[in-house]
Amino acid sequence: MKTPNSERVHIAFFGNCNSGKSSLINAITGEQTVLVSEVAGTTTDLVKRAVELPNVGAAVLIDTPGLDDNTTLGALRTEQSRKALMQTDIAVVLLPVEDSFLTQIRSLEIPIIAVTSKADIATEVYENSIAVSSTTAQGIEQLMAAIASCVDSQSRLITENICHSGDTVLLVMPQDSSAPKGRLIKPQVEVIRELLDRGCTAVCCQPDRVEATLSALATPPQAIITDSSAFAVVKPLVPQGVRFTSFSILFADYKGDIELFRAGARHLLSLPPTAKILIAEACSHTPQNEDIGRVKLPRLLRKRLGEDITIDTVSGTDFPADLSSYDLIIHCGACMFTRRYVLSRIAQAKRQAIPMTNYGVAIAALQGIETDN
């Protein structure tokens, strides 16, 4: 299975127009991955390419518009480059750029690799930078070593806090009208694959088959993982001593900050009936009849807080810069986002003092259900 982009290290290349960003990416990949031209402003939007890099592994290279684009659409293109920071794990910066941009990168705690590009014709090499030439390949090996040194070597597991290697795990996965036809959703696929990699036995069923499935097992499973929408059905059937959680809560811990999300869920329970809530989904899809973010969760919120609450929904990379009008943000499990991207949204909410939680954590709190991670 191809590594999902959300599990790849995102390496973004920043610099002014014609600084050599696109050429550098092509030199790294050994092919024309992105369009190169001497015309300033050739790269007008973010260009992403999934690659496998030596000593780095699965990665996404991001080419960005020039930071000094003075064309008619320059301001919009520059804003795209700044937005790319939210997706960036490692920033390769082709000097010179404005100090304010470097400050912004540092404020997000993103590792910076400074580069003097076009080293074969450059008249000076900037201090603390790697001199690189896309034409002669000078410095490419040194640049790749620097990138590899920034990659987090500590792999994180989705299921590490709910089960152990060799456990039997029951997965409860509703296949209702909101489920995609003919396939499982990404969190389910990733959890099943990880369980297999860990030598676990994964047993799958729908909510109405939980009791029968448990009866068919010689011994109870060590853990049960359910879709958050099935909490109320599954929880009463969980045998004593069996660990219990949801896919969304697993991803809250894997992608974000589980303790912050729990605090946000406690705040949710004390919201007034006039509260304004933002629901944020990572993926963009056509809403289904029983869509969890647009139907099931709002239904639970109104049942708890009343019909007068205001609920706004955003999806994909849409996320308001100004969150001050909201009393709470409820984010999905973010299986389509990198951990860095989720943490950047969390940081944005914290800067504006807006509590934040996650689908699964919120649903568990609304239904008075305790989970084990």
Least confident of 32-41, 94-103, 305-314: 32-41
- pLDDT for residue 177 is more than 70: no
pLDDT at 34: 55
C-alpha dihedral sign at 34, 35, 38, 44? negative
State the CATH number of the domain containing residue 62. Answer: 3.40.50.300
Residues 16 and 133 in one domain: yes
State the Cα–Cα distance between residues 218 and 14, nearest whole angstrom.
57
Considering 121, 150, 179, which residue would you say is the last residue of a domain?
150
Tell me, yes or no, whether 107 and 197 share the same domain: no
Over residues 316-324, mean pLDDT: 92
| CB-neighbour burial class of residue 67 (10 A; exposed 0-12, middle 13-18, buried 19+) | buried
More confident residue, 285 or 259: 259
Residue 161 is encoded by which pair of tokens? Answer: 């806090």
For 159, 221, 282, 329, the CA distances from 97, given in Å and listed in that order, are 42, 56, 31, 34
Q: CA 325, 331, 336, 339: dihedral to nearest 10 degrees?
A: 90
- Residue 235 domain flag: yes
138 inside domain: yes
Out of 26-40, 124-138, 213-227, the most confident range is 213-227
Share of the chain above pLDDT 70, in %: 92
In this structure, is residue 157 part of a structural domain? no
Q: What is the mean pLDDT of the chain?
A: 90
259 in the same domain as 240: no
Write the burial class of residue 166 (CB in 10 Å: 0-12 exposed, 13-18 middle, 19+ buried). exposed
Q: Is pLDDT above 60 for 290?
A: yes
With a cut of 80, say whether residue 5 has pLDDT above it. yes
- Decide if 78 is inside a domain: yes
Percent of the chain with pLDDT over 90: 70
Residues 227 and 342 in one domain: no
Q: What is the C-alpha to C-alpha distance for residues 130 and 128, in angstroms, rounded to an integer?
A: 7
Domain count along the chain? 3
Strand partners, 50: 60
- 9 with 146, same domain: the answer is yes
- The 3-state DSSP class for residue 58 equals strand
Looking at the structure, do residues 279 and 240 belong to the same domain, yes or no?
Answer: no
Q: Are residues 26 and 103 in the same domain?
A: yes
Confirm whether 301 is domain-assigned: yes
SS3 content of the chain, % helix, strand, coil (to 5): 35, 20, 45
Residue 193 has a pLDDT of 94
| Overall residue count recorded for the chain in this entry | 373
Indicate whether 212 belongs to any domain: yes
* Residue 201 shares a structural domain with residue 263: no
Lowest-confidence segment of 31-35, 183-187, 218-222, 290-294 by average pLDDT: 31-35
Q: Looking at the structure, do residues 104 and 119 belong to the same domain, yes or no?
A: yes
What's the average model confidence in pLDDT over 114-126? 92
Residues 16 and 138 placed together within one structural domain of the fold: yes
Task: Label residue 2 by pLDDT band (50, 70, 90).
Answer: confident
The mean pLDDT of 72-88, rounded to a whole number, is: 79
Instruction: Say if residue 223 is in the same domain as residue 259.
Output: no
Q: pLDDT-derived band of residue 272, with 50, 70 and 90 as boundaries?
A: very high
Instruction: Return the structure tokens found at 272.
Output: 């007034």
Rounded CA-CA distance 65/10 in Å is: 16
Read off the tokens for 277: 């809530």
On the question of pLDDT at 1 being above 60, the answer is: no
Residues near 359 by beta carbon (within 8 Å), at least 6 away in sequence: 228, 248, 292, 293, 297, 330, 331, 332, 333
Domain boundary among 249, 275, 304: 249
Q: Quote the tokens at residue 367.
A: 């239904």
Q: Residues 235, 311: one domain?
A: no
pLDDT of residue 33: 59
* Predicted local distance difference test score (pLDDT) of residue 346: 95
Domain boundary residue, one of 249, 276, 295: 249
**What's the average model confidence in pLDDT over 9-32?**
91
Can the peptide bond before residue 96 be classed as cis, meaning omega within 30 degrees of 0?
Answer: yes
Range of the domain at 199: 168-249
For residue 161, being part of any structural domain is answered with no
Place of tokens 């029983």: 290
pLDDT of residue 178: 64
What is the model's pLDDT at position 44? 58
pLDDT of residue 74: 67
Cα 287 to Cα 284: distance, rounded to the nearest angstrom: 9
pTM (2 d.p.): 0.82
- Give the angle 264-267-270 at the CA atoms, nearest 5°: 160
User: In this structure, is residue 373 part of a structural domain?
Assistant: no
Give dist(CA 6, CA 91) in Å, integer: 17
Q: At what angle do helices 247-255 and 359-366 cross, to 10 degrees?
A: 130
- Domain holding 291: CATH number? 3.40.50.11410
CA dihedral 136, 138, 143, 148 (to 10 degrees): 80
Q: Fill in the DSSP letter of residue 5.
A: G
The region that residue 335 occupies, defined by phi over 0 for left and psi between -120 and 50 for alpha, beta otherwise, is alpha
Question: Which of 41-50, 111-120, 288-297 shows the lowest mean pLDDT across its residues?
Answer: 41-50
